[in-house]
Amino acid sequence: MPEPRAAAPRPVSAEGVDRLRRHLGALNTTVLQRLDATLPWYRELTPDERSALGLVAQRALQGLVVWCERPAAGADTVLQDVFGPAPTDLSRAVSLQHALQLIRTMVEVVESTVPDLVAERDQAAMREHILHYSREIAFALADVYARAAEMRGAMDSRLEAVLLDAVLRGQDPDEIRHRATALGWHDDHCVMVMAGSAPGEDQPAYVPGLRRAAARLDCDLLVGVQAERLVLVLGSVTDPRAAAEALTPWFAAGPVIAGPAVDSLVEAHVSAHHTLAGLGAAAAHPRAPRPTPSGDLLPERVLMGDPSAREALVDGVWAPLADAGSSLLETVDTYLALGRSLEATARELYVHANTVRYRLRRVSELTGWDPLVPRDAYVLQTAIAVSRLAEGRPLL
């Protein structure tokens, strides 16, 4: 059942409207004096800003006269009549809190002054008109700031998309810094990239929750939805592993890859390259945990032709072992070739099994990959193979 509409206020006589019109100048002066006396922030404004707000107050008072003459017609024009042809300009100059204080002060002056300006027979009707008009002013003000918020949200979304694209591509550092500052990127250290499948639901449904989750981690966040892929750029990360685990539930089912942390947003394209390369190769390692560090997928990335993965294996595995002497390389290569058997390796090398254990432990310390763990052994074996190809010569 539809709600009953509020009864229209009683009409104000032509004489009452005329008296109100003649006192508009004095009313406007009183409003400005009250603003100056009661609102400290108003006194700190520049002359141009005070003049602009004074114009709003003047239009509002003139609008009250129009409202008293034609209430029904005035309801449709309050927004433009009071806030001008570009109402969102007000939101850039004055915060919503200050705008509410401005309107409240103006209404208080009008309520305490205007009814006494008209004859007694018009005072009750005038109070009703002020009540209805002030309500329309409040609705119009809410509309102004809602539109401004929507515009800022749309602009921020476009700016975020442009910034994310520049970050992923590693474009001009000055351009990245400029756009990041405009978007409110707070701090520029310890940046990492995550990627995985985007949820099937509409973007507005989960992105605000994702931003709140990042805020609880005290992290800056850029969000990009590229077709079915969700890409996150996190800044001010204190614990990369914990941050990746906390945000993984926001991705859809499937692999979630976390790239290495870098020093700044300008360098985030390095983390992005490792992340997206890992996402492309993740299908070859279905038992990988969620999230998976991109560095845990180096063998699969090498198979996909990723040069950075080949470089990481050569520099992170082959080079340390080669620098440590031939015995470690010989031992781990023999151990892997003989099916990871300590005894067979010892017999092949004519050393004690404990010597093999010691050398394999040294391999783990130097490279971070433990030959006794099957997955790590696969990484070591791949590293030796790609290093042999890179060097173009045999192991020993």
**What is the CATH number that goes with domain 307-391?**
1.10.10.2840
Distance CA 196, CA 175 (A): 27
CATH class of 180-283: alpha beta
Quick check: 140 and 79 in contact, CB under 8 A? yes
Distance CA 4, CA 333 (A): 87
pLDDT by 10s per residue, the chain, length 396: 444 445 556 777 888 888 888 888 888 888 888 888 888 888 888 887 788 778 878 888 888 888 887 765 554 566 566 665 545 555 566 677 777 787 788 888 888 888 888 888 878 888 888 888 888 877 777 777 766 665 655 555 677 777 888 888 887 888 787 777 777 776 667 899 999 998 876 555 678 888 888 889 888 888 888 778 899 999 889 999 999 999 999 999 999 999 999 998 888 899 999 999 999 999 999 999 999 999 999 999 999 999 999 999 999 999 999 888 888 999 999 999 999 899 999 999 999 999 999 999 999 999 999 999 999 999 999 999 998 887 765 444
In this prediction, residue 7 carries a pLDDT of 56
In this prediction, residue 102 carries a pLDDT of 79
In this prediction, residue 281 carries a pLDDT of 94
In this prediction, residue 344 carries a pLDDT of 93
Quick check: 190 and 239 in contact, CB under 8 A? no
- Supply φ then ψ for residue 41, to 5 degrees: -65, -30
Distance CA 303, CA 316 (A): 17
From the list 309, 287, 290, the residue with the least C-alpha distance to 300 is 309
From the list 154, 237, 160, 156, the residue with the least C-alpha distance to 192 is 237
Distance CA 213, CA 254 (A): 20
In this prediction, residue 314 carries a pLDDT of 92
Quick check: 220 and 186 in contact, CB under 8 A? yes
DSSP string, 139-174: HHHHHHHHHHHHHHHHHHHHHHHHHHHHHHHT--HH
Strand order in the sheet with 257-258: 220-226, 229-235, 192-197, 257-258, 292-293
Per-domain boundaries in the chain = 14-150, 180-283, 307-391
| Cut 0.75: pTM above it | no
From the list 386, 357, 382, the residue with the least C-alpha distance to 372 is 357
Q: Decide if 180-283 and 307-391 have a common fold.
A: no
Q: Which DSSP helix (H) or strand (E) runs through 305? A: none
Coil, helix or strand for 372?
Answer: coil
Distance CA 295, CA 278 (A): 8
Q: How many residues does the chain have?
A: 396
